[in-house]
Structure 1
Amino acid sequence: MVLVAPAETARANRRRGSAPDGVTFWHTLYLGTTRYNMAPDTPDPDAEALFPMAFLVEQDPGSTANAHYHQQDQFQLVVGGHGTLGLHEIRPVTVHFTGAHTAYGPIRASQDEGVWYFTLRNGFDPGARFMTMPRNRVALRTIPGRRHREAVAGPLSTPTSPTETLLGPDPDGMTAWRYTIAPGEAVTGADPAAGRGQYWVPTVGSLTHAGQELPKLSCAFVYPDDPSFQAIAGPDGAQVIAMQFPLHRSCPDDHA
């Protein structure tokens, strides 16, 4: 069953947060759970399980999130402000994919606006492992089969067709698309069985899926065994980013 998180519902979860490297931000949980809202002593979900985990980060102006990695594949979708991610300029709309145990960053937020981005995963992750900590660098080198996997699309220009492939398609299914939909028109996504879950985020306008409205910056997760995602654009049309995970975790072994 498709999981849906309308933006106005998620907004009730908006909280201040800070990471171990000192970066500060607003954190809005959409789907799943994170270390910012888990009760003390709660066991982590199984790292191998399919576990949608989606939240919006509003990184404070002038702040820097140091280079780090995660134990899960992830997409990041930049939807507000601007800054840099490593050597890449990021502003709306930018799509970034990193495989599990791929170090990336730093993320430097602009001095005037900061930078806002969705973090979207299909498996539970306990938090960033910063490369400024020697034990994390050592642990990363000990993971068998690890490879650096990273892809960026954007900042995106004006759409040139109703459906655009932004990343991939890779042989293992990793793909990102942008759909531009006229008012009242329908969209049908790719077969989700080709990957290990899809996220859909309207960045302009709104959608209606199965009778539920998804305004701008809402979020939906489509499981691999769900039918293809279907929705209808609202009265102002819509632009939607759809992101599909690889069929298998990029690097399942974690010795960190």
Structure 2
Amino acid sequence: MIAVGSATLARDTRHHRVLENGFSFHRSEWMQTGSDPQLSPTVFLVEQPPHSVLPAHFHTQNQFQVFKQGSGSLGSRAVGPGSVHYAGAFTGYGPLMAGPQGLSYFTIRAVYETGANFLPVARDKLRRGPKRHAHGPTHEPRALEQLRALKAPVRAELIEADAGGPEAFALQLPPFSELWVPAARGSGQFQLVLAGELNTPERRLQQWESRFLSMGEHGGTCSAGPQGLHLLVLQVPAMAAEYLPVR
């Protein structure tokens, strides 16, 4: 399975939401593929107002978060443009606190999920199994002038892979150069354009648009656009056996 995200979809779906606990935010869908419980890659953007707080919570799916704009903190860590965070299924994290300019971030999952389980109220819904967090260093989108000046590809490790765990790395490519990334593994691979353009067999992807490849997919021949490319690659690990449905 290959899916692509779209800025047009995001513009058409941006809406305001208020949760039962009073948390108010805007949400836009950047990738929608349905709600299949096995594979339904999803990317959406959350926009938190200045000084707002999203309380600590957990989800039932593995997920990445990539911070787009603004400033704030996730737990005890400062976050800003380019910060990457991973939280495994049934792993509590937060609170997420927005700074004076607000805070926006992409939530990225290989399987659709709606809602959040807030702690400590939902503690009884936690399940026994591995709990995993991972934080990458801030890695801001590069200016197009920097990408155009590149003479060779540059790779930055953000969350280093280990056995069965998440992985995040960024690639900077000179204009028109060919993209090579390892095949998708685990629950699949997301490619998020931080700057420049990515030419794919499906279509041209621009800043903040994304692409998903299911396990084993290579995705065909892809290349950087005329301004170069700054690409974030996220490998989503497979769901831990403890959290799989009993058959």
Task: Note whether the superposition's TM-score is higher than 0.5.
Answer: yes
Provide structure 1 residue ranges, at least 5 long, that are not aligned to the other structure: 35-43
Mapping 1:1-256, distance limit 5 Å:
1-32=1-32, 45-46=36-37, 49-111=38-100, 113-133=101-121, 136-140=122-126, 143-144=127-128, 146-156=129-139, 162-192=154-184, 194-210=185-201, 212-228=203-219, 230-249=221-240, 251-252=242-243
Q: Do 2:166 and 2:235's aligned partners in 1 also have CA atoms closer than 8 Å?
A: yes
The CA deviation at 1:251 is 4.8
What is the percentage of aligned positions where both structures have the same residue? Answer: 29
Q: TM-score, normalised by structure 2?
A: 0.87
Distance 1:115 1:158, change over 3 A: closer
Alpha-carbon RMSD across the aligned residues, in angstroms, is 2.4
> Could you tell me which amino acid in structure 2 is paired with residue 50 of structure 1?
L
Query: Judging changes above 3 Å, is the alpha-carbon distance between structure 1 residues 33 and 249 closer, same or farther for their aligned structure 2 residues?
Result: farther
Structure 1's 173 and 187: CA in aligned 2 closer, same or farther, altered over 3 A? farther
Provide Cα deviations, 1:136-172, integer angstroms capped at 9, x if missing partner.
Answer: 11332xx23x232000002126989711221121201
**Counterpart-to-counterpart distance in 1, 2:82 and 2:233:** 12
Q: Secondary structure at the match of 1:101?
A: coil
Q: CA deviation at 1:179?
A: 0.6
TM-score, length basis structure 1: 0.84
Structure 2: gaps (5+ residues): 143-149
CA distance in 2, matches of 1:244, 1:56: 19
Q: In terms of mean alpha carbon deviation, does 201-210 or 16-25 score higher?
A: 16-25
Query: Matches of 2:139 and 2:191 in 1, distance apart?
Result: 17
